[in-house]
Amino acid sequence: MEFRKLFIMAVFISVTVASALAYANTMSKETFVQKASLANLFEIESSQLAINKSQNPEVKKFAQRMVTEHKKTGQELKDLLTASQLSIRPETKLDDTHRRLMAKLEDATREDFDNEYISIQTQAHKEAVALFAEYSEHGENGKLKEFAQSTRPTLKDHLKHVESLEANY
C-alpha cells in the first residue's frame, strides 16, 4: 500500500512539473506578434535596400522575393489579428537592434554589401524559423499558432534559398 501511495505521489508531481514547464515555455501572443512583425518589417526594409544596392542579379532576385512574400505575410498577420478581434497591433517601426543592422547594410560599400546582406539574411531567417517553430508548438493563441505553422515552411524555404546564395560567397 505504501508503494502505491508513493507511486501516485510521484506521478502527480511529474504531471505538475511537466505542466509548469509547459506553461513556462508558452510564448504570449503579444510577444509573438511583436517579434514576428519586427522580423517581417526588417526583411522588407533590408531587401528593398538590397534591390537598390546589390550588384548581383541573384541577390536582387532573392531580395525582390523577400519584399513580395514578406509583404504578403505581413498583410496575412494584420488580417488575422483583425478577424480574430485581437487587440494587438504589429510593429510599424524597427527596434534598435534592427535599426543597427539596417545601418550596417546602409554603410556597407557596394563591394561588401552582398556579403553583409546575405549574412544578415541567413541569421534573420534562422531566427524567424526558430520563432515560428516555437510559437507553433508552445503559443497561447490557436489562430496565431496556425499562422505560425502555415508560414514556417515558407520561412524555411527562404532560409534554404539564402543559404544557397551564401554558399557562392
Q: Residue 100's domain is classified under what CATH number?
A: 1.20.1260.10
In this structure, is residue 2 part of a structural domain? no
107-160 residue pLDDT tens: 999 999 999 999 999 999 999 999 999 999 999 999 999 999 999 999 999 999
In this structure, is residue 59 part of a structural domain? yes
In this structure, is residue 93 part of a structural domain? yes
Q: What DSSP letter does each residue of 70-118 carry, written as one string?
A: HHHHHHHHHHHHHHTT-------S--HHHHHHHHHHHHS-HHHHHHHHH
What is the domain count for the chain? 1
Tell me how many helices (H) and strands (E) the chain has: 6, 0
In this structure, is residue 150 part of a structural domain? yes
In this structure, is residue 22 part of a structural domain? no
Q: Which domain holds residue 118?
A: 28-167
**pTM here?**
0.83
83-95 residue pLDDT tens: 999 899 999 999 9
In this structure, is residue 3 part of a structural domain? no
9-37 residue pLDDT tens: 444 444 443 433 344 468 899 999 999 99
